[in-house]
Amino acid sequence: MAATVAVVIGSLRKQAWSRKVATEIIHRAQGKLNCHILEIGDLPLYNEDLDAQPPLEWKRFRTGIDASDAVLFVTPEYNRSVPGVLKNALDIGSRPGNQNHWSGKPAAVVSQTPYKLGAFGANHALRQTFVFLDMPVLQQPEMYIGTVGDKFDSAGKLTDSDTGKLLDAFIAAFAGWIARAAKPESFPDFMKRRDSVATAYVNGDGSPLDSIITRTDPATFLSPGGDAVTGAAVVANRYKADAAHFTKGSTSKLEVLQSANGQLGFWTGIQHAEVKMQGKEGAIPMSLRVTEVFRLEGGHWHLIHRHADMGTSK
Ligand SMILES: Cc1cc2nc3c(=O)[nH]c(=O)nc-3n(C[C@H](O)[C@H](O)[C@H](O)COP(=O)(O)O)c2cc1C
């Protein structure tokens, strides 16, 4: 199963070359790496005072890192270093206190410049941070793209076949690097992640859940509405559709009894939530009775069964 890669882009410009390069890599990596862009443009500036009650954007970003197997950085060079917006994102992901969300995630860097000379400074300034962030980074091949503006057409499509070949080799090397760096996730570690995935879900962000659900049959979902869906693809679509009903400002906390043995794990307990729904005023408190079963697939735990019923509504 392809690893999930968060792609972090170091430029906020709409027409950024970095975004064009990232989009090209995501396209070329299809089937080998499951890449998605983790946006940084809405992140409030890091301020340690805010960590007691972090902004929702920080939470969304940290959950996005947690839900990824690896991280790809695609960045321009600013003043021979990384753009401030990217450093801000690195700092937010490294906190609070002892919760460094980047820790152990395999990383790779692509840097670009419209000039002949450049991109090296940003690439290596970024690598310097990986030492403290504890990110094992792909060494070879290095990816510095010079004169980037000559390599894409006006529609943003890569026209330079040599760069295309380099990118393909880079993607293959990164996929191999991720596979070597991966060790099976412990079930207790996964369950910490499960809690934050549930919080993202009730805030309308279904993508972290999407990354932990199985794509292999059999899969089942018995919903709080009383209906049941079966089959991995149908279940995945259903979760996606349901997430869209929730909006930001919801809370969720899992009260868990859990166990795992070999390839299978489960938790049963209560999901305490206050959910805000599209088109409805105020938050709706609920305590769902939940049982979820997971299978270890490709070193990661994946949801194969969820049964939730309303239990009590306060
Ligand atoms: C504040 C600033 C500093 C820059 N410093 C460098 C630099 O040190 N080296 C370089 O190659 N280009 C530098 N540039 C030019 C960028 O490489 C160029 O604007 C590039 O298009 C930015 O990437 P993007 O298209 O992804 O936004 C700088 C640009 C800005 C705005």
Q: Which atom of ligand 1 is nearest to the CA of 119?
A: 11
To test the pocket of ligand 1, the residue of 77, 81, 111, 116 to mutate (highest count of ligand atoms within 8 Å of its CB) is: 77
Distance 131 CA to ligand 1 centre (A): 25
d(CA 297, CA 107): 21
Task: Find the angle CA(149)-CA(155)-CA(161) to the nearest 5 degrees.
Answer: 60
Whether the domain at 3-181 and the domain at 187-312 fall into the same CATH topology: no
Closest residue (by CA) to atom 14 of ligand 1?
78
- The pLDDT, as a whole number, for residue 314 is 47
The domain 187-312 is placed in CATH, from the list 3.10.450.50, 3.40.50.1980, 3.65.10.10, 1.10.357.10, at 3.10.450.50
Residue 137 DSSP class: B
The pLDDT value recorded for residue 312 is: 55
**Ligand 1: centre distance to CA 77 (Å):** 5
- What are the residue ranges spanned by the domains of the chain? 3-181, 187-312
The ligand 1 atom at the shortest distance from the C-alpha of residue 12 is 27
For residues 162-182, one letter each, b for 16 or more C-beta atoms within 10 angstroms of the residue's C-beta and e for the rest, the string is ebeebbeebbebbbebbeebb
Distance between Cα 75 and ligand 1 center (Å):
9
pTM, entire model: 0.66
Interior CA angle at 282 toward 280 and 288, to 5°?
A: 90
State the closest ligand 1 atom to the C-alpha of 15, by its place in the atom list counted from 1. 25
Residue whose entry in the numeric block shows the structure tokens 């792609």? 7
Average pLDDT per consecutive 10 residues, the chain (314 residues; last block may be shorter): 93 98 98 97 98 96 94 98 98 92 95 97 98 96 98 96 98 94 86 95 95 92 95 96 96 97 95 94 94 89 95 56
Instruction: Name residues contacting ligand 1 (CB within 6 A).
Output: 11, 13, 16-18, 76-80, 113-115, 118-119
Q: What does the block give as tokens for 53?
A: 């009650």
- CATH architecture, range 3-181: 3-Layer(aba) Sandwich (3.40)
Residue closest via CA to ligand 1's atom 28 equals 78
CA distance 26 to 173: 15
